[in-house]
Chain A
């Protein structure tokens, strides 16, 4: 069964700290993996997109990694800010079909 599982479900960190969110998937055939940030009451905004051959991709303080062999991805947030508080969604594009969404990790950054 094609699934995308994210951990942890929720996370609370202090402002300025780093954190890493995990994504494991069983989607096949694989096309690409995306990380989105979704603020409460808003639509998801793309952070990174990685294809099979890409191991790492950065977007400012966000760095995503992909291990296509183990079917794992991570999103690392450096020097967190209050504005990073949001839901982070891992999405896998199954080749030839629509997107498969993880349930997201809710990140709360406190001062």
Chain B
């Protein structure tokens, strides 16, 4: 089936630094990818929709300057958490849509800001 690779699986960074998370569709092309955030014991919350070759669409309440999304190719989208603070600590998950297999999720990235 379709595979979405997300990297890194976990990262610890200092407050004020930036962190980049990569999401790759390994065996299919994805014109659209999605970025989610998940707090403990909560469901996934859509942050933004990443569109190849154009600007991402952010959900209400998500700061676009805080969470920079780049979808430069049909197989890669990146999420950069800029000037991270402890409240940004969370589990970030990407997903991509494949016509045959539907939505496939990455394995997630656990971000801890200290």
Please determine whether A103 and B43 come into contact, CB atoms closer than 8 angstroms. yes
Give the distance in Å from the alpha carbon of A104 to the alpha carbon of B43 in the complex.
7
Which residue of B34, B42, B107 contacts A42 across the interface (Cβ within 8 Å)? B107
Flag if B101 contacts A46 (CB, 8 Å): yes
* CB closest chain-A residue, reference B110: A41
Main secondary structure of the interface of A (DSSP, over half): strand
Q: Which residue of A lies closest to B42 (CB)?
A: A103
A interface residues, how many (CB within 8 angstroms): 20
Question: Would you call A99 and B43 a contact (CB within 8 A)?
Answer: no
Cβ-defined contact, A45 with B105, below 8 A: yes
* Interface 0/1 of A32-61, CB less than 8 Å to B: 101010000111111001000000000000
Least Cβ–Cβ distance between A92 and chain B, in angstroms: 12
Instruction: Out of A32, A41, A43, A102, name the residue touching B43 (CB < 8 Å).
Output: A102
Given the complex of chains A and B, what is the CA–CA distance between A91 and B45 in angstroms?
A: 12
Instruction: Determine if A46 and B103 form an interchain contact, defined as CB atoms under 8 angstroms apart.
Output: yes
B residues 16-60 near A (Cβ < 8 Å) are 34, 41-44, 46, 49
Give Cα A78–Cα B63 distance, bound, in whole angstroms: 44
Indicate if the CB atoms of B105 and A98 lie closer than 8 Å.
no
Q: Within the complex, what minimum Cβ distance (angstroms) separates B98 from chain A? A: 11
Residues in A with CB closer than 8 Å to B6 are 43
Partner of B108 from the list A41, A46, A102, A103 (CB cut-off 8 Å) is A41
Q: Contact partner of B44 among A32, A34, A44, A93, CB < 8 A?
A: A44
Q: In the assembled complex, how far is the CB of residue A75 from the closest CB belonging to chain B, in whole angstroms?
A: 15
- Nearest B residue to A6, CB-CB: B43
| B interface residue numbers (CB < 8 A to A) | 4, 6, 34, 41-44, 46, 49, 91, 93, 95, 101-108, 110
What are 24 A-to-B residue pairs whose CB atoms are below 8 Å? A34-B102, A34-B103, A41-B108, A41-B110, A42-B108, A43-B4, A43-B6, A43-B93, A43-B95, A43-B105, A43-B108, A44-B93, A45-B105, A46-B102, A46-B104, A49-B102, A89-B43, A89-B44, A98-B34, A99-B46, A99-B103, A102-B43, A103-B42, A103-B43
